[in-house]
């Protein structure tokens, strides 16, 4: 019996030693919870791209700027009439003609400017400008006429005298009454076409017309001098002032 008790106590002692060692080993081992947390932390902070899918690329957008367009603007030029009559055309030519008659000064499908030329005793029978008439669709069918001072010469619009004295003016209204197709002023202000006429009293008729046309007509005793400033008309033109 004594021998059996010793054996029993020895086994019990061995079991206690094993139990103590197992507890010690468990306490010394790293916590699995800590390891899992570390793994989770690394997973949330590192971005891993799927294998075989390249990162997105930005494709540049190409734009083209159209070439600038240029528009040629025709500049105004001047045509001059003076004396019996001498001319400087829009292009700078200098013709002279001396025969009586009525001739186009500027002719266009919409613009009509005409002159009457006759000889006088002061020009020894050579033709001088005796009358200017302006008409056409560009002034809605109205007719403006300018005559020299003598023999009751007048400034007329549709046959009615206007601007009979220096300092007067006349506006010709459009048919719809919303504006004006022409403005006429009668004064003594302006540069002479013929310097030889500077000794005479000045009667100048300024006519402002559509298409940027400006005319100055110098009314002398028995003839007219003339200055026309305008740009080339889109449909083309003809007449004594050239094209």
Q: For 108-131, write each residue's pLDDT tens digit.
A: 999 999 999 998 877 777 889 999
Indicate the range of 16-25, 164-173, 211-220, 225-234 predicted with least confidence. 16-25
Model pLDDT for residues 56-113, shown as the tens digit of each residue: 566 666 667 777 776 677 899 999 999 888 899 999 999 887 778 999 999 999 999 9
Q: Phi and psi (nearest 5°) for 136?
A: 115, 170
Average the pLDDT over 163-173 and give the result.
Answer: 96
Torsions phi, psi of 181, nearest 5?
Answer: -95, -20
User: Hey, what are 196's tokens?
Assistant: 């030889």
What is the 8-class DSSP label of residue 220? -
**Furthest-apart CA atoms within the chain: distance in Å:** 182
Question: Rounded CA gap, 104 and 232, in Å?
Answer: 16
Rounded to two decimals, what is the model's pTM?
0.69
130-140 confidence digits (pLDDT tens): 999 999 999 99
Between 139 and 6, residue with greater pLDDT: 139
Residues 150, 222: contact at Cβ < 8 Å?
yes
% of the chain surpassing 90 pLDDT = 53
pLDDT digits (tens, 9 = 90+) for 29-58: 555 444 434 344 444 444 544 545 555 566
pLDDT band at 151; cut points 50, 70, 90: confident
User: For position 81, what pLDDT does the model report?
Assistant: 93
Which pair of tokens denotes residue 75?
A: 């500049």
């Amino acid at each position: 019996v004594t021998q059996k008790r010793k054996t029993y106590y020895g086994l019990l002692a061995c079991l206690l030693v094993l139990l103590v060692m197992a507890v010690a080993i468990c306490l010394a081992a790293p916590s699995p919870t800590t390891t899992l947390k570390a793994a989770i932390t690394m997973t949330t902070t590192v971005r891993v791209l799927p294998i075989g899918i390249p990162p997105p690329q930005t494709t540049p957008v190409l734009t083209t700027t159209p070439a600038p367009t240029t528009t040629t603007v025709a500049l105004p030029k001047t045509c001059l009439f003076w004396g019996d009559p001498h001319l400087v055309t829009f292009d700078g030519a200098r013709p002279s003609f001396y025969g009586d008659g009525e001739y186009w000064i500027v002719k266009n499908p919409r613009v009509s400017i005409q002159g009457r030329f006759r000889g006088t005793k002061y020009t020894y029978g050579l033709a001088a400008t005796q009358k200017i008439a302006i008409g056409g669709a560009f002034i809605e069918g109205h007719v403006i006429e300018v005559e020299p001072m003598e023999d009751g010469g007048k400034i007329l619009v549709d046959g009615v005298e206007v601007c009979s004295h220096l300092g007067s003016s006349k506006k010709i209204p459009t048919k719809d009454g919303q504006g004006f197709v022409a403005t006429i002023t009668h004064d003594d202000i302006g540069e002479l076409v013929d310097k030889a006429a500077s000794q005479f009293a000045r009667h100048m008729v300024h006519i402002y017309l559509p298409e940027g046309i400006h005319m100055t007509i110098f009314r002398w005793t028995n003839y007219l001098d003339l200055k026309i400033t305008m740009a080339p008309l889109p449909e083309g033109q003809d007449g004594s002032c050239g094209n």
